[in-house]
Amino acid sequence: MFGLNKKDAGLLIVVAILALAAPFILNPFPEGSAMAQFNAGYPDLMQRLVIFGIFAIGFNILFGLTGYLSFGHAAFLGVGSYAAIWMMKLLTMNVIPAIVVSIIIAGLFSLLVGFISLRRSGIYFSILTLAFAQMSYALAYSVLTPITGGETGLQPKYTDPRVLDKALEAGQQPRANLFGLEMNQGFQLEMGNWVFTFNAGYYIAAVVMLVAFYLSIRIFRSPFGMMLRAVKSNQQRMNYTGLNSKPYTLAAFVISGMYAGLAGGLLVAMDTQVGAERMFWTASGEVVLMTILGGAGTLIGPVLGAGFIKYMENIVSKINKSVLEQWFAFMPDGIEDVLVAIIYPFVGKGWHLTLGLLFMLVVIFLPGGLVEGGQRIGKMFRRRDANANSIEADAAEQRKPAAE
Amino acid sequence: MAILEVKNVGKRFGGLQALGDVNLNVAENSCHAIIGPNGAGKSTLLNCLVGKLIPDTGSVMFDGHSVLGRKPYEINQMGISRVFQTPEIFGDLTVMENMLIPCFAKRDGAFRMHAIESIKHETDIIGKAEGMLEEMKLIEKRHMTASSMSRGDKRRLEIAMCLAQEPRLLLLDEPTAGMARADTNNTIDLLKQIKEERDITIAIIEHDMHVVFSLADRITVLAQGTPLVEDTPDKIKGHPKVREAYLGETQDAA
Amino acid sequence: MDAILLQILNGMDKGSAYALIALGLTLIFGTLGVVNFAHGALFLIGAFCAVTFSKILSLSHVVIDESQKDFLGNPLKVEVPYIYDMFGQATGDVIIDWAVPLSLLFTVPVMIAIGFAMERGLIKHFYKRPHADQILVTFGLAIVLAEIVKYFYGANPIPTPAPSAFAGSFDFGAMLGFDPNTIIYPYWRLVYFAFAAVIIGGVFAFLQFTTFGMVVRAGMADRETVGLLGINIDKRFTIMFGIAAAVAGVAGAMYAPINSPNYNMGMDFLVLSFVVVVVGGMGSLPGAVLAGFLLGILESFASMSVVLETLPGINQIIIYLVAIIILLTRPRGLMGRKGVMED
């Protein structure tokens, strides 16, 4: 299917089903129940899940394949966002030009940054990308205020020229749309006590994510993708095999920059505003966390990592003291207090503490991320199966060489 | 007809004159060995040929074109492949992928943005790579991760990768260093076979006299950065200057 | 002239902090070969050691003071710091006033303990892992440490004053014959600069003149060979990590009066200090110190209004700009050695 082998096509289909059915899957708790606050099936969060998925998929093409650890990718996301918002201010509130231009501008910017940064490797490369991103952030905050809106950021206003759209009346809020379909349109489906929200913006973002994911599978399976892994594995051999590693890494850098730009453009399409903090280095760190947590160098890892972090961020940061007390109410008072006291620092505002610990644990024990964890668990079960059928397995093993 | 002409090449590292005034002609389709004691400048010379180092003086011509100032990958694309002392392969990739990469490099040049095509559809390249693995008796290991193979297999894979590029000149840097006798003999046989079956020139740097005398058509003895003698193996064996400067040491080393 | 002098002075204290953090980073990188992204967090913990210490000193209990009455004639309840009970009121006040410098007595052992725990508990297991893994795990640790600080002290900066003896400013201008009040400089910043100079000098002297330092320097040059000599280099490296942590910690503690500590300061300083290390040359101690002061001073020059008029915003980016230029023209930094971190 689509030029993919069975396994990859299966993966794509699973991701597609998960993405399209997300409004159901993320809303497992009936409305009004105590657990309803942990439902994640509302548009704003679902949009973020898939958009940061795109960001991480792109980052993985650079870091996962070539091993070049960029600490400045948020800059491309930010530049993409600014480009998109300017398209909305000047041209039209239709999201297509905004997204296309955000990809192009982020691509050009990453070409410039990559061309310079890739003259060094290892930690020097990381520092160079970090330096570029911090410079972009600082400039966006200060000197470039006419373009970026400085501290207040940018939003489309009814006074903007918007040459392709009809003029808006005073005070009317411009809304992002796709040929008239507004991003915040949608409908709610009530089934018994459950309420599911279907949102146009989310589905547009999800489809874009699926296309982005599909392209990344193609890149992984292409000769180009193999060359990128060769860069990570042994640059010396690569040079002595007549291959110029520079354009390969630069191409990977620009592709990942364009993915970041796409994510930035989509963020603006869904929520028409942008501020410089989007480019701060913690945002760059976040995409690194997502990719590593999910599993760098794997296809599905970054999507899982982005989904996991954004979902947990939302869920865990909502747990407060009274929720904890409610959970442990069935226990004797003393134990309840102790448990609440132990868990409380890790939830609510302490979400970043949990995230940091989780990230450390993954790097220490599971360098391959959640994907490796899944594989290990899978292997454990398979080994059990293999033990159960050990006689047959042994026999098969013995037949093998003869057959070949 | 010389395929590789080295003229008056000199290289200095700070106060150390690593190469004095090296002149060397490697005849097409021959096997030329360069021997010499440790520190004689063999590796420096080799690095000057492949673009890792740029000599201070002199010229290096390959097939009538200068290689000086070109990057390693450009020189490789001219038709010079190099085998390293410790096998340099793509350790994280499978054996088959290791084999595919030089095949792509041969067909597509130093860079090509084939990012959407699937490797699966490159049947010509896959066929060529499999043929090469077959020839090197590595075909059964094609799904293995390259770094998990034995040293002898890694060496064979590296040679196979170089040959897949169909080079005119194959440079070998102590290909049997650190190998057991049996592996060394296998490597000698492999190189002999390559020499007989292919249209290829081989230049080899080697410490092991057994390897040198089994393979070489001509031998250059390098000592203290300058060529001492250049002759056929038979004449080198009996040459008094060589015995004095070099063979005494190798007997110890062996 | 006076303006230039003022900027050099202004850059000194920030430069001192950069230099101290960069020194520790380089020590750890040079000896252990580990890229420690949690080093800024050690600076942060140091600063909060000062905060904690001054809080401990002001711990009070309530007594009923018979000599003071409220308007109803009842005896007044007053809070009396425990420290008064121990040393009397006069001495107690002095001790509370001098909380920041005194906190070093508390900071140093705490930081050494944290350094040991970090090296033995975590870093040790990452010697053989790729640099990217080291960066990632210490990055995670930095987040955790900052969040722990945030949990206990909240997100707002906590003002931590210097001793009142240093509260004023020193008029350099008057001393050097310029107009008075053109070059004034807070005393505490002078103290900080002097303190940094002493610490830096101490570390260099320690490495230069003690047997321990000699072994560590040898280990920095060639770890394996020193290990082969039968010297237990690992133990010394653990101690070195403790020292680097202590240097970062005291740098942070003394910086508390200059910049009220908040939980984010570790990361802010780390990013800049890393740039400093790279500019100075990975693995070069003099390079780290030189680059620290150089960039601190450059940053302060870039904030001059004359400069900002011609190059708006330059103060925000000067350090990064210099880093990019240096890395592209001198790949090994100002004083870097060949072969360090080049793959």
List CB contacts (< 8 A) between A4 and chain B: 118
Residue contact C271–A130, C-beta within 8 A: yes
Predicted pLDDT of residue A384: 63
Provide the pLDDT confidence category of residue C337 given band limits of 50, 70 and 90.
low
Q: What is the pLDDT of residue A393?
A: 42
**pLDDT tens for residues C110-120?**
999 999 999 99
pLDDT value, residue A327: 79
Question: Across the interface, do B110 and A243 touch by the CB < 8 Å criterion?
Answer: yes
Residue A69 falls inside a structural domain:
yes
Closest residue of chain A to B159, computed from CA coordinates: A241
- Lowest pLDDT segment from A92-106, A348-362, C89-103, C243-257: C89-103
Cβ contact A209:A36 at 8 Å: no
pLDDT band, very low/low/confident/very high, at C196 (cuts 50, 70, 90): very high
Contact B115 A225 (CB under 8 A): yes
Of all residues in chain C, the percent with pLDDT exceeding 70 is 94
- CATH code of C2-56+103-329, in short, is 1.10.3470
In which band, very low, low, confident or very high, does the pLDDT at B134 lie, cut at 50, 70 and 90? very high
Residues of C with CB under 8 A from a CB of A: 35, 122, 125, 131-133, 135-137, 139-144, 147-148, 151, 267, 271, 274-275, 278, 282, 312-313, 316-317, 320-321, 323-324, 327-328, 331, 341-343
- What does the pLDDT read at residue C229? 72
**pLDDT confidence tier of residue C163, bands split at 50, 70 and 90:** confident
Q: How much is the pLDDT for B211?
A: 87
Residues of A in contact with C141 (CB under 8 A): 356, 360
Q: Where are the domains of chain B?
A: 1-79+169-254, 88-166
How many structural domains is chain A composed of? Answer: 1
Residue A349 has pLDDT above 70, yes or no: yes
Could you read off the pLDDT of C180-195 as tens digits, one per residue?
766 777 888 888 989 9
- Range picked from A3-17, A74-88, C33-47, C299-313 for highest mean pLDDT: A74-88
Model confidence at B247, in pLDDT bands (50, 70, 90)? low
Lowest mean pLDDT among A25-29, A237-241, A305-309, A356-360: A25-29
Q: Per the CB < 8 Å rule, is C331 touching A363?
A: no
Q: What is the 3-state secondary structure (H, E, C) of A184-231?
A: CCEEEEEECCEEEEEEHHHHHHHHHHHHHHHHHHHHHHCHHHHHHHHH
ipTM for the assembly? 0.90
Measured between beta carbons, which residues in chain A are less than 8 angstroms from residue B92?
229, 232-233
Whether residue A135 and residue C136 make contact (CB cut-off 8 A), yes or no, is no
Give the 3-state secondary structure of chain C: CHHHHHHHHHHHHHHHHHHHHHHHHHHHHHHHCCCCCCHHHHHHHHHHHHHHHHHHHCCEEEEEEEEEECCCCCEEEEEEEHHHHHHHHHHHHHHHHCHHHHHHHHHHHHHHHHHHHHHHHCHHHHCCCCHHHHHHHHHHHHHHHHHHHHHHHCCCCCCCCCCHHHCCEEEHHHHHCCCCCCCEEEHHHHHHHHHHHHHHHHHHHHHHHCHHHHHHHHHHHCHHHHHHCCCCHHHHHHHHHHHHHHHHHHHHHHHCCCCCCCCCHHHHHHHHHHHHHHHHCCCCHHHHHHHHHHHHHHHHHHCCHHHHHHCCCHHHHHHHHHHHHHHHHCCCCCCCCCCCCCC
- Which residue of A239, A249, A256 is the best one to mutate when testing the B interface, meaning the one whose CB has the most B CBs within 10 A? A239
Q: Is the pLDDT of residue A54 over 80?
A: yes
Would the CB atoms of B82 and A240 count as touching at under 8 Å?
yes
**How much is the pLDDT for A396?**
43
* Nearest Cβ partner for B89 among A218, A237, A243: A237
pLDDT above 80 (res B215): yes
Whether B110 sits inside 8 A of A241 (CB atoms) is no
- Closest partner CB to A248 (pick from B76, B111, B119): B111
| Residues C313 and A148 sit within 8 Å (Cβ to Cβ) | no
- Binary contact (B105, A5; C-beta < 8 A): no
pLDDT over 70 (residue A282): yes
Task: Supply the CATH number for residue A26's domain.
Answer: 1.10.3470
C223 vs B132, residue with greater confidence: B132
Report d(CA A144, CA A156) in Å as an integer. 18
Which one of C144, C270, C272 makes the best mutation probe of the A interface by having the most chain A beta carbons within 10 Å?
Answer: C144
Contact (Cβ atoms closer than 8 angstroms) between residue A359 and residue C140? yes
- Chosen for mutation from B100, B116, B125 (greatest number of chain A CBs closer than 10 Å) is B116
A46 in a domain, yes or no? yes
Which of C139-148, C185-194, C243-252 has the weakest average pLDDT? C185-194
User: Do the chains contact at A233 and B73, CB–CB below 8 Å?
Assistant: no
Mean pLDDT on A335-351: 83
Q: What value does the mean pLDDT take over residues A271-275?
A: 90
Q: Do A127 and C267 touch (CB under 8 A)?
A: no
Assigned domain for A354 exists: no
CB atoms within 10 A of CB A377: 10
Closest-CA distance of chain C to residue A61, Å: 16
B252 pLDDT band, cuts 50/70/90, is very low
Most confident of A257-266, A321-330, B152-161, C152-161: A257-266
pLDDT band at A390 (very low <50, low <70, confident <90, very high): very low
Predicted confidence (pLDDT) at residue C10 exceeds the cutoff of 50? yes
Task: Convert the pLDDT of each residue in B50-105 to its tens digit.
Answer: 988 899 999 999 999 999 989 999 999 999 999 998 999 999 999 999 999 999 99
The segment with the largest mean pLDDT, out of A75-89, A266-280, B116-130, B184-198, is A75-89
Length of chain C: 343
Nearest CA in chain B to A235: B90
Domain containing residue A274: 6-316
Assess if CATH 3.30.70.20 describes domain B1-79+169-254: no
Whether A342 contacts chain C with CB within 8 A: no
Count CA within 13 A, CB hemisphere, residue A89.
Answer: 18
Output the pLDDT for position A240: 94
Across the interface, whether the CB atoms of B76 and A240 are under 8 A apart is answered yes
Q: Please check whether residue A93 touches B, CB under 8 A.
A: no
Tell me the C-alpha distance between A340 and A327, whole Å.
9
User: Looking at the domain assignment, is residue A396 inside a domain?
Assistant: no
Burial of C147 (0-12, 13-18, 19+ CB in 10 A): buried
Give whichever of A96-100, A161-165, C179-183, C280-284 has the largest mean pLDDT: A96-100
Range among A58-62, A176-180, C210-214, C312-316 with highest mean pLDDT value: A58-62
Indicate if the pLDDT at residue C108 is higher than 60: yes
- Is-contact C244 C285, C-beta < 8 A? no
Q: Is A226 on the interface with B (CB under 8 A)?
A: yes
Q: Is the pLDDT of residue B172 over 90?
A: yes
- The mean pLDDT value for C1-14 works out to 79
Least confident interval from A12-26, B53-67, B118-132, C74-88: C74-88
Residue A303 has pLDDT above 50, yes or no: yes
List the single best residue of B82, B113, B121 to mutate versus A (max A Cβ within 10 A). B113
Average pLDDT, rounded, for chain B:
88
- Cβ separation of C267 and A282 shorter than 8 Å? yes
Q: With bands split at pLDDT 50, 70 and 90, how would you rate the model's confidence at A394?
A: very low
Evaluate whether residue A205 is within a structural domain: yes
Residue A3 pLDDT grade (very low, low, confident, very high; cuts 50, 70, 90):
confident
Average pLDDT over residues C311-325: 83
Average pLDDT rounded to a whole number, residues C44-63: 88
pLDDT at B245: 64
- Residue B127's pLDDT band (boundaries 50, 70, 90)? very high
Confidence tier at B248 by pLDDT (50, 70, 90): low
A237 lies in a domain? Answer: yes
Alpha-carbon gap: A6 to the closest alpha carbon of chain B (Å):
13
What is the arithmetic mean of pLDDT over C197-210?
A: 91
Token reading at A38? 């942990």
Nearest residue on chain C to A125, judged by CA atoms? C327
pLDDT at C200 over 80: yes
Q: Is pLDDT of C55 > 50?
A: yes
Alpha-carbon distance B237 to nearest alpha carbon in chain A (angstroms): 34
Determine the pLDDT at residue A188: 85
Average pLDDT over residues C132-149: 89
Q: Is the pLDDT of residue A315 over 90?
A: no
Disruptive mutation site among A233, A241, A244, A246 for chain B (greatest number of B CBs within 10 Å): A241
Cβ-based contacts of C25 with chain A (< 8 Å) = none
- Residues B5-22 have pLDDT tens digits of 999 999 988 888 888 889
